[in-house]
Amino acid sequence: DAKTTQPTSMDCAEGRAANLPCNHSTISGNEYVYWYRQIHSQGPQYIIHGLKNNETNEMASLIITEDRKSSTLILPHATLRDTAVYYCIVRVGTSGTYKYIFGTGTRLKVLA
């Protein structure tokens, strides 16, 4: 199973872009990368996912390298409410029986 490696923690100034890196060097060609975040005492919340193209939604952007061995989640204007643990996940399996392989996540602290 593919696994992910993320920095344990990061700080970011409020209003600045937060760039969270993830390595997934053993990812297979049909395995998607997902990002979730978990705010204290809550269940993880979906942010974004992608396969090989860059993706953007109202929460974040996902940049995936051409060789797909790494990706970066970008929160364009971090706020204090973005303080959370961010998980980079590879989804493995076949249609109908997908499952996630979670890493240990990056604890992002947004500073006022």
Partner 1 sequence: DVKVTQSSRYLVKRTGEKVFLECVQDMDHENMFWYRQDPGLGLRLIYFSYDVKMKEKGDIPEGYSVSREKKERFSLILESASTNQTSMYLCASSTPGLGGEQYFGPGTRLTVT
Q: CA 82, CA 75: separation in Å to the nearest integer?
A: 9
Q: CA 65, CA 79: separation in Å to the nearest integer?
A: 26
Nearest distance, CB of residue 46 and partner 1, angstroms? 4
Residues 9-28 that bind partner 1 (CB under 8 A): none
Q: Which helix (H) or strand (E) holds 107?
A: strand 106-111
Q: CA 112, CA 103: separation in Å to the nearest integer?
A: 28
Q: 45 or 65: whose CB is closer to partner 1? A: 45
Say whether residue 95 binds partner 1 (CB under 8 A): yes
Q: Please select the residue that binds partner 1; options are 10, 59, 74, 91, rule is CB under 8 A.
A: 91
> What CA–CA distances, in Å, run from 20 to 15, 29, 69, 88, 97?
15, 22, 15, 9, 28
Q: Please select the residue that binds partner 1; options are 27, 105, 106, 110, rule is CB under 8 A.
A: 105
Say whether residue 56 binds partner 1 (CB under 8 A): no
Interface with partner 1 (CB under 8 A)? 34, 36, 41-46, 49, 87, 91, 95-100, 102-105
